[in-house]
């Protein structure tokens, strides 16, 4: 399986990676942008759908734009 990391603007995926092969975009976000969501996914080891809490960095583009311009 592995961890998939994406940088998206709405439905548009700007960048993505899996496991250790990804670009770290966390510098675009601030600590207040860290959210916790219940995510449902298929666990191949258990062969069933499971729900787990995952931490996600998420913010509106207007909050990130000043750091993109740097």
Neighbours of 69 (CB within 10 A): 6
Low-confidence stretches of the chain (pLDDT beneath 70): 1
pLDDT at 4: 80
pLDDT at 40: 78
pLDDT at 1: 59
Give buried/exposed letters for 27-46 (b at 16+ CB in 10 A, else e). ebbeeeeeeeeeeeeeeeee
What pTM value is reported for the model?
A: 0.67
Dist. CA 23–CA 17, nearest whole Å: 7
pLDDT at 36: 94
Q: What is the DSSP string of 19-47?
A: TTBS---GGGS-GGGEEEEEEEEEETTTT
């Amino acid at each position: 399986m592995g961890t998939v990391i994406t940088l998206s603007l709405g439905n548009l995926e700007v960048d993505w990676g899996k496991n250790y092969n990804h670009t770290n975009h966390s510098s675009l976000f601030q600590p207040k942008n860290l959210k916790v969501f219940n995510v449902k996914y298929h666990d191949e080891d258990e062969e069933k759908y499971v729900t787990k809490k995952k931490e996600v960095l998420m913010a509106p583009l207007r909050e990130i734009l000043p750091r993109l311009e740097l």
